[in-house]
Structure 1
């Protein structure tokens, strides 16, 4: 019984120590700023191909983990924004989402 308790304690300690190492990065860490507002032909093509409306103006941040992944904020009026995850090379998009205030 004592051996089982020691094993569980060691296992629990390892989980507590390792958790911060393997924790998911925050949105700000995954898509570090600043926002880029220059025209990006690949992002634009992906948005058009998927029929995303309301992106007359957009800004984006590249992912720090995946080279071809972007957090994109779109607006049609400069006031209301929608968030998308965009993978231009495969023309895949997830969203719209409400923008996360932690990356403003």
Structure 2
């Protein structure tokens, strides 16, 4: 490799490294500002029991809505590897049998 080309690549890599370091500092500041609320065990227990009840006795639209609220995203990497991201929905945002209008 010619010295001029090597020097240019080193300069490019140094510039990239500096940019990544600036981004790392920004992310560290953002991470420090994040606050994760504590998990209320009673609320979690209630959501799980409602989840089980809805999946056992709910209508298909109720089940579909509940799954869309709980499963944030699904990543399929290959035939054997699937990654599922879950979230805890707000209690009021999940339509369970007790929170729906009666069907006519």
> Do these two structures clear the TM 0.5 threshold for a shared fold by scoring above it?
no
Q: TM-score, normalised by structure 2?
A: 0.31
Q: TM-score, normalised by structure 1?
A: 0.31
Greater relative contact order (CA < 8 Å, ≥ 6 in sequence): 1
Q: Considering fraction of residues, name the structure with more helix.
A: 2
Q: Considering fraction of residues, name the structure with more strand.
A: 1
Q: Which is greater in Rg?
A: 2
